[in-house]
Amino acid sequence: MIYPWELYAAAFVQLLPVAGGLLHGGSLPAARRWFMLWCLLSFVADGVQFVFAQTFGQNLWLRMIIAPAQIAVAFWALSLWQLDAKPRRVMRQAIVVLIPATLIIALVWEGFDSFGDKSGPILQLALLAACVYTLVSRSVASSDRLAREDWFWITLGLSLYFALGVALGPVAMALLQGNTDFLKQVLLFKARADILAFVLMTIGMLCPLPRSLSLKPT
């Protein structure tokens, strides 16, 4: 089966931030390294789901295995961009609270053949909130040009990515039983938006390294 080019591009564009990070060598701040790991996980997840869809015809159940790792890495990366200990702690606590809760929702109410129309938006909305908080709080506190800050471009791109992800699950489930042609258009729109989102994140990875890497929260 031949898929639209946007779907392939949306998958491989996830490697662009990784390539951007590798250009800096081994001196990347911890936040960028964790973000690169999230990009790699996202790319591998898409590849595994594609293989399962082609081989077995069903891949929706894989989200229950893949999503927790992606969510945990994303929260951890965002926590490393926080200036204060409290929001950093809250984002790390979200990992141990939200993931088990949404897994229970997925197992009890959604089942294995669902797009995650209940659990997915909860996690995406939580990550969107974390991204927007990071973007706004760091922007207010910054005295440098925002265009030179990695967190600015990366959280901007992540906000776009997760904002569309919030609506994707419910919309996909609503259209799955009926207007599949419109569902394809929705997925293509999401793919195009994801391409833009990862281009923004790549700009962040190409930004100059901070003058001091002394800020290394753990």
Average of pLDDT values for 77-95?
A: 96
Q: Does the residue 152 lie in any domain?
A: yes
**Neighbouring residues of 126: CB distance < 8 A, sequence distance ≥ 6:** 94, 98
Cα 131 to chain centroid distance, Å, stands at 10
How far apart (Å, rounded) are the C-alpha atoms in residues 24 and 17? 11
Q: Residue 188: is its pLDDT beyond 80?
A: yes
Cα torsion angle, 54, 120, 104, 115, sign: negative
Q: Is the pLDDT of residue 215 over 50?
A: no
**Confidence tier at 172 by pLDDT (50, 70, 90):** low
Is residue 213 pLDDT above 60, yes or no? no
Instruction: Please state, in angstroms and rounded to a whole number, the distance separating the CA atoms of residues 179 and 168.
Output: 15
Within a domain: residue 217? no
Q: For residue 211, tell me if it sits in a domain.
A: no
Q: Which residue has the tokens 């911890």?
A: 30
- Any domain includes 218: no
Number of domains in the chain: 1
Cα(130)–Cα(87) distance, integer angstroms: 9
- Judge whether 101 and 91 are in contact, CB under 8 Å: no
Mean pLDDT score of the chain: 84
Distances 130 to 25, 38, 80 between C-alpha atoms, Å: 28, 15, 12
Q: What is the pTM of this model?
A: 0.85
Instruction: State the average pLDDT over residues 87-103.
Output: 90
**Residue 190, in any domain of the structure:** yes
For 7-19, how does the pLDDT look when each residue is reduced to its tens digit (9 = 90+)? Answer: 889 999 999 999 9
For 25, 83, 121, 145, the CA distances from 135, given in Å and listed in that order, are 26, 12, 20, 14
Q: Which domain holds residue 28?
A: 5-206
Q: The CATH number of the domain where 131 resides is what?
A: 1.20.1070
Cα–Cα distance for residue pair 51/45, rounded to 1 Å:
10
**Of 154, 150, 126, 161, nearest in space to 10 by CA:** 161
pLDDT tier for residue 165 given thresholds of 50, 70 and 90:
confident
Q: In the predicted model, what is the mean pLDDT of residues 127-151?
A: 94
